[in-house]
Homo-oligomer: A and B are copies of this chain.
Amino acid sequence: MREFIPPATRFVDLPDGFPMKRGGTLHGARIGYQTYGRPSPARDVVLILTGLSADAHPASHADDPKPGWWESMLGPGKPIDTDRWYVICVNSLGSCKGSTGPASIDPRTGEPYRLGFPDIAIEDIADAAAHTVRALGFERLACVIGASMGGMSALSLLARHGIARNHINISGAVHSSPFSIAIRSLQREAVRCDPHWNQGRYDAERYPRHGMLLARKLGMATYRSAQEWESRFGRARLTRERPAEDDPFGPEFEVEGYLDFHARRFLEGFDPNSYLYLSRSIDRFDLGESCGGTAEAALAGLRLDRALVMGVETDILFPVRQQRQIAEGLAAGGTDVRFLPMESPQGHDAFLVDTDRFGPPIAKFLSSV
């Protein structure tokens, strides 16, 4: 599915027989990544681990001028300053945007893995990222930055590989809350209920379009906040005066049109099976369980100099108490922690859009490490 891969993406091969946490091994697998800045003695390395749907293209690039998903945050003179840092962004194992995942060809069969792909754990994503960084010649990172699912992957990376001195965790968690599990479970159900999903054996002709649209809209309804939508949409109607004759229950309000528009854009770029696998990995991740004890013990066991932990008061998916838990756990282990609960109205997605609030503390933190 080459069409999903940003053009500046490069690749690192995973070792043959790459072991997966919950069983199975991968053969001929690779990880997609992009880099920013040039490696030099003066430039330490910063690693970015992403949310579920992001690719390895956070910002425009000499080889790809298309704006990335963190365009305002990353580049020369920006909060993650590529004049100062050599930045690596890794596409998660299991994604469909460069790294090997369920849509990739299984070398044993010559066909896409589909549901034959082994179960993916956040720990596998972390292991693959650690391998990528080492394959690029770096044993020690100045900082690992992870947001949302990437915040989980980053904690797992630190617990399993301890290869970073500093850490920025944004809207992350040591495990998922039952509400967020419920919301993701319903997204997966929406995809699977679409007859075109067909146990993962869809194609371009018979594609689970309705299920993916519904799943993505539901995701979006929990990525922002009710407050933001109140001020942004209120009860404004779509310009079409009445619902279409052929769809009497179709969208009438602007908020419905907004969800529909953005879900359709997403649909073009994401493999449904990959969505199912990565979504489930978020539900299942449990840092404490993964480290054989409590989350508190796992956090206190991380060897970090400094950490910046950020969350958003209006986030209903990764509520701010979960970031407080990370901050307190790291501090208990001796890490110098700055915890920043933000007032942003933009909920879980705030880090993607609210650069005014997120940029300065990230810049300040990085300039001090």
Residues of B within 8 A of A181 (CB): 235, 253, 255-256
Residues 221-250 of A, flagged 1 when their CB comes within 8 A of B and 0 if not, give 100011001101111000000000000110
Does A177 sit within 8 A of B, measured CB to CB?
yes
Closest to A220 in B: B182
Across the interface, name the chain B residue whose C-beta is closest to A215: B186
> B178 touching A235 by the CB < 8 A rule?
yes
Residues of B within 8 A of A183 (CB): 221
CB contact list, A191-224 vs B, under 8 A: 192-195, 210-211, 213-214, 217-218, 221
Contact status B186-A230, CB under 8 Å? no
Contact B182 A255, beta carbon cutoff 8 Å:
yes
The answer to whether A185 has its CB under 8 Å from any CB of chain B is yes
A177 touches B221 (CB 8 A): no
Decide if A226 touches B193 in the complex (CB within 8 Å): no
Judge if A106 is at the interface, Cβ distance under 8 Å.
no
Given A115-B248, A249-B280, are A230 and B189 also a contact pair (CB < 8 Å)?
A: no
- Residue of B178, B256, B259 touching A233 (CB-CB under 8 A): B178
- Asked whether any CB of chain B lies closer than 8 Å to the CB of A175, the reply is yes
Using an 8 Å CB-CB cutoff, how does the interface string of A171-184 with B read, 1 for contact, 0 for none? Answer: 00001111101110
The minimal Cβ–Cβ distance linking A285 to chain B, given in whole angstroms, is: 10
Contacts of A79 in B (CB 8 A): none
A319 at interface, CB cutoff 8 A? yes
A256: shortest Cβ distance to chain B, in Å? Answer: 5
Q: Are A283 and B253 in contact (CB under 8 A)?
A: yes
Residues of A within 8 Å of B, CB-based: how many? 49
Choose from B189, B214, B218, B229 the contact partner of A177 (Cβ within 8 Å). Answer: B229
Q: A192: which B residues are within 8 A, CB to CB? A: 249
Question: Is A252 located at the chain interface by the 8 A CB criterion?
Answer: yes
Q: Which residues of B contact A235 (CB under 8 A)?
A: 175-176, 178, 181, 286
By secondary structure, the A interface counts as helix
A162 within 8 A of B: no
Bound complex: CA A256 to CA B283 (Å): 11
Is residue A251 within 8 Å, beta carbon to beta carbon, of the partner chain? yes
Q: Does A190 contact B (CB under 8 A)?
A: yes
Residues of chain B with a CB closer than 8 A to A316's CB: 226, 316
Given A193-B210, A248-B115, A283-B253, A178 and B218 contact (CB-CB distance below 8 Å): no
For the complex formed, measure the closest distance between the CB of A233 and the CB atoms of chain B, giving whole angstroms: 4
Contact of A193 among B115, B177, B211, B225 (CB under 8 A): B211
Partner of A189, one of B176, B214, B255: B214
A185 engages B230 (CB within 8 Å): no
In the bound complex, CA of A92 to CA of B192 (Å): 34
Rounded to whole Å, the gap between the CB of A254 and the closest CB of chain B is 8
A188 within 8 A of B: yes
Q: Told that A178-B229, A179-B221 touch, could you supply 8 new A-B pairs with CB distance under 8 A?
A: A178-B230, A182-B255, A182-B256, A186-B218, A188-B249, A192-B249, A193-B211, A253-B283
* CB pairs A–B below 8 angstroms (15 shown): A178-B234, A178-B235, A178-B255, A179-B225, A179-B255, A186-B214, A186-B217, A186-B218, A186-B221, A189-B214, A190-B193, A193-B211, A193-B214, A253-B283, A316-B316
